[in-house]
Structure 1
């Protein structure tokens, strides 16, 4: 990791251009199975995705972000590209899960042993590494979250399924590290949805997924995209302090929109904290001063070397101009506080 104090980063995604994806279809929810959101067909799709990825990289660099991603431009969602590439997963005839709010979502079916048989994101990481000199991060869906976004029709023991997802993530992560990843992040928003199961298996699964890696590692938690989860968000996490025991170097949490009580940071005394200081529900860009105030509030509970300022969540649902403005405020606000620290 960079030795710079308060290094800024993104959670993962950046807005995809309107010429690349059908944003009306994208807005209907977070895809668990393949939806074919692309406006560009074969054989030009890969080239179009490369061009859009370069736009995302350059925007993050121009905004002044220290640790950047490829914007997850090649993905319909944060999870479906990797999850539906695994052996044992069937998505052509999807299953269905119902949320606590009663909303039904099409999801893959697990019909055999979950295995990773080929690289999924390695080319993405190689492309990012070739096109930036900055620290580079790539993200993967976490094993617990993938297991909750599928219908199990094969395993007698759900925990065995979670551990097979973890082994698949680890195989991919090892190749991403070889491809030049400085930071590897696992997205685990579903840890808070089922605390009893999370307490039983999540840390074990995360440790299996992160086993043997030398790159910096992050586990990201959030309450869902602001564009998808409407209304008030919880003001606290039902599964957080337990993650202090996992192998990850950093824990990433959403804090700006839900106005999280930052006292919870005391529960993660051994970790660096990637803290959400950009509210993605706010239709206006923060000022640098607002970001600086949020960073200063976190520094009441953390030493500066343990804080990594970031947006609350991925930015793919925002207009690109707004996303850029928010990232510029993030970089400028962090610079303000950095200068105060000497």
Structure 2
């Protein structure tokens, strides 16, 4: 992808939705919903789309003013990173929900697959076109990946999880093509369950991911993480290493997004992805404390010991929807300033 400086900065996906748009206290009280959760919205349906557009414009302008190089829409129209697309496909039971165990070991309501998974038509293409119209910077949009959607559903139709994942992959593939056609520069798949379910990921995840991007022309990314830093308002401890990461070097994805700041990840693992661009997490989202630019710069320098600058993008660890707008702005400002310190060093 052209049009960005060395060490380009970006957000992972979500940006804080304003309190006037969504009930943030209820949102933060549980894990991201897997099924639709329309009651979270504060704006009545006749005006909701306009309100979501206004919030999206706010997210775009914030990123531009902060100096972010690759801009996202902040996922302002979504109740969670995955449920909007996952519940818009045919084959999902419209009468009842299924149940699946989440990453914390609890049973949650999820889409119940009762027929063949098919994409009925574009889902995020209008959002992509809106984002493209309202910034001149390169833009990135996110979609839930086929492996994670398989893990977040109850399979009541397919012979096994792999078969379900392949049809999810076909639906994602059609959506990715439409996003690129709408002018998006980077399409990112969110696949947090690669880490949470590494054994199952080893069985069929790379096949599903590659199928979801088969024949696609454009820069693709994949976000793999340890989950949100806060759950039910409590700090979540993170492991020090990924159980599923090096395997992604065999995928067709161009950019691998990992979180490194909160878990204190050893950047030497970046050497396990020699053929990928790395979107490197430098902001710890488990705390409202704002990193200094020097802290961010130090984290980038550590990564540069193991990956060339031409293969490194700079980002927060994960989505920022559970932080306040003010906290997010301050952290992103430090990220941009820290990145500029390292850029200056590379030029000298």
TM over 0.5: yes
Distance in 1, matches of 2:101 and 2:254, equals 33
| Contact preservation (8 Å) 1:82, 1:140 | yes
2:36 counterpart of 1:31: no
Distance in 2, matches of 1:278 and 1:169, equals 29
Distance in 2, matches of 1:267 and 1:89, equals 38
2:269 counterpart of 1:267: no
The number of aligned residues is 342
Q: Per the alignment, in what secondary structure is the counterpart of residue 282 of structure 2?
A: strand
Q: Which moved more, 1:280-289 or 1:90-99?
A: 90-99
Match of 1:251 in 2: 256
Deviations 1:46-70 (A, max 9, x none): 1000000000000011111000100
| Contact preservation (8 Å) 1:288, 1:330 | yes
Which residue among 297, 300, 303 is the counterpart of 1:295? 300
2:113 counterpart of 1:110: yes
Give 1:214-293 correspondences, 5 Å limit.
214-228=217-231, 230-293=235-298
Match of 2:161 in 1: 158
Give 1:54-203 correspondences, 5 Å limit.
54-90=57-93, 92-99=95-102, 101-203=104-206
Match of 1:338 in 2: 343
Distance in 1, matches of 2:144 and 2:70, equals 19
| Contact preservation (8 Å) 1:274, 1:310 | yes
| Contact preservation (8 Å) 2:255, 2:279 | yes
Deviations 1:8-47 (A, max 9, x none): 0110110000000011211122110011111001211110
| Contact preservation (8 Å) 1:295, 1:337 | yes
Distance in 1, matches of 2:81 and 2:95, equals 19
Distance in 2, matches of 1:33 and 1:8, equals 32
| Contact preservation (8 Å) 2:78, 2:84 | yes
| Contact preservation (8 Å) 1:34, 1:91 | no
Q: Which runs of 5+ in 1 are unaligned?
A: none
Q: 1:194 to 1:231 in 2, by over 3 A?
A: closer
Deviation (angstroms), 1:185: 0.2
Deviations 1:239-277 (A, max 9, x none): 110000000001100100000111111110000100100
Q: Per the alignment, in what secondary structure is the counterpart of residue 109 of structure 2?
A: strand
Match of 1:19 in 2: 20
Q: Which moved more, 1:248-257 or 1:191-200?
A: 191-200
Q: 1:284 to 1:93 in 2, by over 3 A?
A: same
Give the structure-1-normalised TM-score.
Answer: 0.98
Runs of 4 or more, structure 1, over 3 Å off, are 99-102
Deviations 1:255-301 (A, max 9, x none): 00000111111110000100100111121111111111100010010
Q: Per the alignment, in what secondary structure is the counterpart of residue 30 of structure 1?
A: coil
Deviations 1:152-196 (A, max 9, x none): 000012111000000000000000000001000000000112222
Q: Which moved more, 1:91-100 or 1:273-282?
A: 91-100
Q: Per the alignment, in what secondary structure is the counterpart of residue 135 of structure 1?
A: coil
